[in-house]
Structure 1
Amino acid sequence: MIKSTPLKRAIKTISVSENERFVDVYQRIQNCQTSDLDGYSRICSQGVRDCFCWRGSPLFKSIQDMAIYSMLLNELNPGTIIEIGSTSTSLLWWKDMVRSLRLDTIVLGVDRVYPSDLEKEVQFIQGDVNNIEHILTYENLKFFEHPWLIIEDAHINISGVLNHFSKSMVAGDYIIIEDSLTKQEDVGQWASKNEQDFTVDTYYTDFFGINATSAVNTIITKRS
C-alpha cells in the first residue's frame, strides 16, 4: 500500500500525463479541477525576495510559464505573438526569445496604457480590451502571419477575447489565458459552444505536474 502523499500525487500526475495530448477544452475543464501547483507555490513562482526581472525590470511571469513558453516557441515557430495586457518588459522578453531562435516573429502588444520605453521592433496598439473587436478588427488580423500565439493577460473581457480571436484562428494557432484559476467558468462557457474546434494541449499544461502553470486548462490550440 502506498502511504506517501507525494508519491500518490506523482503517480496520479504520471497517469494523467500518459493520456492523450490534446483534449477537448470543455471536457478538460469538467474533468480536471485540480492543480499540482498549490497557492503558496504560485506566490513563490515569480520570486520571493524580489520579482524575477528581465533586463533589470520586473517581468511578472512564473518560472514555470517561462519554461513552457520557451519550449512552445521552439515547437510552434510563431509568425505572430499577440499579448493582450502587456508591459514593455514582457514584450521585450518575447522579442528576445524569438530572436534567440532566429525567428522573424511579429510581437504585438495591446493595452490601455502605451509603454514609455517600447523597443522599435515591437508593435503596439493602445486601446480598451473591452472593445477588442474594434482594436484588432477581423480585417486587421488578416495581415498577421500564422501560426499565432495569443496571450491573454489583461484579466477582463475573457469571453469577448476568446470569441473574437477564435473566429480568425487557423489550425495550429494557440491562445493562452494566463492566471485562469478564476476564469474557468468563462472559458468553459466559450468552450461548450466550440467543442469540435479547440483543444487543451496537456503536454504543456501538465509539463511540471497537473496544471502546474498559470494557464490552468487554458493552453488552447485550434484543432487541425
Structure 2
Amino acid sequence: MNTAYRTHRNRMFQHYSVFNSKEEALEHPYPDMNKEEWTRVCDLFASEEFQRRSAINKENRAKLKIVHTSGARSFQRARALLKNPESDEISPALLYKKTHTNKDGMWTSEDARENFLEEARLQIEEMRARQLEYEALLVKRSDMEQTMREHLQMMEEQQRKKDEELMQMMAEQQRKKDEEHRKMMEEQQRTLVEQQERRMQLMAEQMREQLVEQIRQLQSRSTPKRKFG
C-alpha cells in the first residue's frame, strides 16, 4: 500500500508541476479529487520541507546516466503531446517509455529500461491494490444488501404478526359483541315469554272467577223456595 501511495503522490506532483504556481494549480484539481483534498496536497507540495526533499531528489536524479528523447521539451509538455486524445490521459509508465526510447524502440540506457520496469511494476501493484479495494467494496455492498434484506424480512414478519394480532383482537371483540347481543335477545325473549305467561294466567284466573260466578248464579236460580203455613 505504501508503494501505491507513493506512486499516486508522484502522479499528483506531476500534475501539480504542470502549473506555474500553487494558486494556478489550485484552480485545476487532480482528477477525481475534491477541492478540499487537492488544497491539502498543494499545501504539501508548496511546503519548504517538500521543496527541500524534492530538490535533493532532483539532484540525485541528475547524477543518473539516463538520457531522455524529449529534447528541450519538459516532461509536462511531452505528456500533453503524447496523451490519448480520447481519454486525455497517458500513464506515467507509457510516458516514460515514449520519452526514453529511440525511434527504433531501443532504450536510451539500461537504467532507463530498469526504471520503466519499476514504474510498470508500481502501476501493476497500484492496479492490484485498487482491485482489492473494489472487491472489498463489492463484499461490503453485498453484506449491506443482505443485511437490508434480512431487516426488511424481519419488519415484514413483525408487521404480519401485528396484522394477525389485530385481526384476532377484532374477531374477539366482534365475538363478544355477538355474544352480548345474543344474550340480550334471549333475555328479551324470556321476558316476553314470562309476560305472556302472566297474561295467560291472569286471563285464566279471570275466566275461572267468571265461570264460578255464573255457576253460583245458576244454582241460585234453580233452588225452589219453601212455603210455610
Identify the TM-score tier after normalising by the shorter chain. under 0.3
Structure number, greater radius of gyration: 2
Q: Could you state the TM-score of these two structures normalised by the residue count of structure 2? A: 0.21
Higher RCO, 1 vs 2 (CA within 8 Å, ≥6 residues apart): 1
The structure richer in strand per residue is: 1
The structure richer in helix per residue is: 2
